């Protein structure tokens, strides 16, 4: 019953086929026909130490698949999203991976050969903006305040300069509490 145009399925490049008659290809098209957005985000992994059986897509495969999908149905363009998908240490450049710059350095130059500038604008800007349009930033948290406790009435109050009093080790929230303690002869308080 939900709006499928607001659903994003990630790691869809793991479904990239070598053949357009493959069952995986039909799964991608089936999801797109229903309005789901597909995110290609596993292309930064050429191989993985922890999953030797998994074959990750190459950049040319991702580019080819995106071009083929848009050629088959231009409306699919508005449902394709790209991401670096960095989630493991071995993907950082420090450890031999492509790093956070992989999208702009490796994928986009090749994708420009398949998509026009306006199509690139849709994939990189318009679709992500549409998907995130529901979000409104939360209100800023209130500024932290330190409160003092009145020695007489024990109420907490915000210490505003000139609006509270201190005498010896006692703190008073106002003139009334100071007067009460003064009239009591400044006897020790409980």
Task: Summarize pLDDT for 108-166 with one digit per residue, the tens.
Answer: 899 999 999 999 999 999 999 999 998 899 999 887 788 999 999 999 998 888 888 88
- Residue 120: its pLDDT value, please? 93
Strand partners, 18: none
Does the domain made of 4-131 have the CATH classification 3.20.20.140? yes
The answer to whether 86 and 100 are in contact (CB under 8 A) is yes
Q: What pLDDT score does 32 carry?
A: 93
Q: Strands 8-9 and 37-40, how do they pair?
A: parallel
Residue ranges, CATH 3.20.20.140, the chain:
4-131
Summarize the confidence of residues 64-82 as an average pLDDT: 92
Of 69, 65, 59, 75, whose CA–CA distance to 108 is shortest?
59
First to last CA, the chain: 64
What pLDDT is recorded for position 123?
A: 93
Evaluate whether 43 touches 58 at the Cβ level (below 8 Å). yes
pLDDT at 54: 67
Which segments of the chain does DSSP mark as H helices, in order? 23-33, 59-72, 102, 108-111, 117-121, 127-131, 175-183
- pLDDT, residue 125, reads 94
Residue 51, pLDDT score:
60
More confident residue, 74 or 55: 74
The reported pLDDT for the residue numbered 48 is 53
User: What's the pLDDT score for residue 101?
Assistant: 80
pLDDT recorded at residue 152: 92
Reference 41, options 16, 4, 22, 17; nearest CA is 16
Work out the mean pLDDT of the chain and round it to a whole number: 85
Per cent of the chain over pLDDT 70 is 91
Q: What is the pLDDT of residue 112?
A: 92
Give CA–CA dist 116/122, Å, rounded: 10
Tens-digit pLDDT profile for residues 36-65:
999 988 776 665 555 666 677 788 888 888
Q: Which helix (H) or strand (E) holds 167?
A: strand 165-167
What Cα–Cα distance (Å) separates residue 69 from each residue in 82, 113, 152, 155? 14, 15, 75, 68
What is the reported pLDDT for 53? 67
Query: In which residue are the tokens 């007067």 written?
Result: 179
- 87 φ, ψ (degrees, to nearest 5): -145, 5
Q: What is the pTM of this model?
A: 0.64
pLDDT band at 172 (very low <50, low <70, confident <90, very high): very high
pLDDT value of position 160 = 86
Please count the other Cβ atoms lying within 10 Å of the Cβ belonging to residue 135.
Answer: 7
Angle among Cα 153, 159, 164 to the nearest 5 degrees reads 60
């Amino acid at each position: 019953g939900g709006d499928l145009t607001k659903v994003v399925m990630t790691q869809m490049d793991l479904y990239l086929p070598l053949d357009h008659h493959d069952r995986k290809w039909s799964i991608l098209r089936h999801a797109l026909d229903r309005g789901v957005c597909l995110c290609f985000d596993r292309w930064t992994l050429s191989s993985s130490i922890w999953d030797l059986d998994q074959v990750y897509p190459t950049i040319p495969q991702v580019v080819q698949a995106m071009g083929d999908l848009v050629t088959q149905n231009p409306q699919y363009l508005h449902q394709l999203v790209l991401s670096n998908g960095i989630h493991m240490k071995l993907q950082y450049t420090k450890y031999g991976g492509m790093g956070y710059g992989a999208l702009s350095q490796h994928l986009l130059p090749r994708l420009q050969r398949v998509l026009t500038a306006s199509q690139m604008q849709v994939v990189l800007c318009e679709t992500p903006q549409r998907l995130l349009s529901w979000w409104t930033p939360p209100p800023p948290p209130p500024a932290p305040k330190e409160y003092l406790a009145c020695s007489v009435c024990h109420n907490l109050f915000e210490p505003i300069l000139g609006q509270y009093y201190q005498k010896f080790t006692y703190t008073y929230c106002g003139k009334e509490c100071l007067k009460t303690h003064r009239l009591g002869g400044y006897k020790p308080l409980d």
